[in-house]
Amino acid sequence: MPRLHRLIPLLALASFSAAHAADWSDAFIAYSYGTRYKEPGSDADVKKHVVTLQYVGGYKYGVNFFTLDMLKSDINNPANNSTRGAQEVYVVYNNTVSFSKLSGSAVKFGPVRDVGFQAGFDFNSKNDSFGAGLIKVIAGPKLEFDVPGLLTLGLFYYKENNNNALAGTNVNFDAAPRLATVWNFGFSAGLPAVFKGWANYTGKKGKDGFGGDTAPETWLETSLLWDLGAPAGKPKTFYAGLGYQYIKNKFGNQPSLPGTKVSSPSIQLEAHF
């Protein structure tokens, strides 16, 4: 854990420095609402409001990505010792170094237009009875495919440390492999629209806080959004549409545990600036 804590400020400093000298960038604030989320340990549907701040920017040697999610659940996912819903903050930061930009010449082959190396971390804190307080370090090579839009595929080293207040212990999970893809495609559907999202497959990560075996986790988040600003002469500014979350074995829990399979649609709004 001390090693993980030392990495985070260094990566954050790199993000700030690169953002200051960004060649291009996109930032937005978003809101989403869904009624069929799940939390491990309960089959109850959970309603969640989510506010997101996100930034992505290109710099001399690659791309920086940062997102902050603020989540508010209903009482079916209660705060610890409370009659109100739980709150959570989830942060993701990663930096991808492009081998083409680093070398000054194109690194490509077949359907691949660039090769890079991504490194970053996740951080969260949640005030329910489980009391999650995770830190993940994720790093590995990534391919960017030669398609209209964005399509990437990465194979990453994944290492997680988390809190388990129910078991009263800190959990230092085993390292695991992660296969991850990100996509973003623009098209026309009456109005300009975008289909974007990401999906991760994370392998088993050893024992959980109760001493049981973990299971491989599949997690998908995707959105279909229409550019509502385009007819008013403000393209790529205001978006609205639908989102969908699918999770199998949430947080690496075994499928026998209730609430580990999620299939939840949502409504989504975005304002870019």
Backbone torsions φ then ψ of 244, nearest 5 degrees: -150, 135
Kindly tell me the number of DSSP H helices and DSSP E strands found in the chain: 2, 13
Whole-angstrom CA distances from 191 to 225, 238, 265 are 10, 12, 22
pLDDT at 171 over 50: yes
Domain residue ranges in the chain: 2-272
pLDDT interval class at 191 (50, 70, 90): very high
Measure the CA–CA gap between 95 and 137, rounded to whole angstroms: 12
pLDDT above 90 coverage of the chain, percent? 91
Q: Helix or strand or coil: residue 202? A: strand
pLDDT at 190: 87
Q: What is the mean pLDDT of the chain?
A: 94
pLDDT at 257 over 60: yes
Name the superfamily (CATH) of residues 2-272: Nucleoside-specific channel-forming protein, Tsx-like (2.40.230.20)
Report pLDDT digits (tens) over 93-147. 999 999 999 999 999 999 999 999 999 999 999 999 999 999 999 999 999 999 9
Report pLDDT digits (tens) over 54-72. 999 999 999 999 999 999 9
- Dig out the tokens for 150 from the structure: 């964005």
Decide if 67 contacts 198 (C-beta within 8 A).
no
pLDDT interval class at 6 (50, 70, 90): low
Bigger pLDDT: 104 vs 190: 104
The two beta strands, 238-248 and 135-145, are unpaired
Backbone torsions φ then ψ of 96, nearest 5 degrees: -110, 120
Q: At residue 223, what is the residue type? A: S
The DSSP result for 155-197, as a single string, is: EEEEEEEEEETTTTEEEEPPPEEEEEEEEEEEEEESEEEEEEE
